[in-house]
Amino acid sequence: MDVGGLSDPYVKIALLQNGKRLKKKKTSIKKCTLNPYFNESFTFEVPFEQIQKVSLSITVVDYDRIGTSDPIGKVVLGCTASGTELRHWSDMLASPRRPIAQWHTLKDPDDEEKK
């Protein structure tokens, strides 16, 4: 968060296999807002035989021109997820090549690293 109480958020999306990043994409930065709207879509081509082995890590980051940009929160979708994240993943697999929009609660970005 900036001195004025605002943020410059963007979203990083990573396609992971066994914890290793295969591909990555990111949105544009939304300047000076606490309520960003990202009207952007992303596509990752994944061979059918690998779909059970991959996951999507979606991280909201506060951009900082000076110093390090800080992660705000994240959500991971994939076969090893649970709850709404797993349901969203299942819905995406059931409708390939169609956008499946769903709200998620962001989790602490450091939670996985502490395990």
Q: Low-confidence residues of the chain, pLDDT below 70?
A: 1-4, 112-115
Contact 1, 9 (CB under 8 A): no
Please tell me the predicted confidence (pLDDT) of residue 114: 42
Decide if 29 is inside a domain.
Answer: yes
DSSP-assigned letter for residue 65: S
Domain hosting 28: range is 9-36+50-106
Decide if 41 is inside a domain.
Answer: no
Please tell me the predicted confidence (pLDDT) of residue 113: 47
Decide if 72 is inside a domain.
Answer: yes
CATH at residue 65: 2.60.40.150
Contact 90, 83 (CB under 8 A): no
Decide if 25 is inside a domain.
Answer: yes
Decide if 45 is inside a domain.
Answer: no
Decide if 112 is inside a domain.
Answer: no
- Into how many domains does the chain fold? 1
Please tell me the predicted confidence (pLDDT) of residue 110: 83
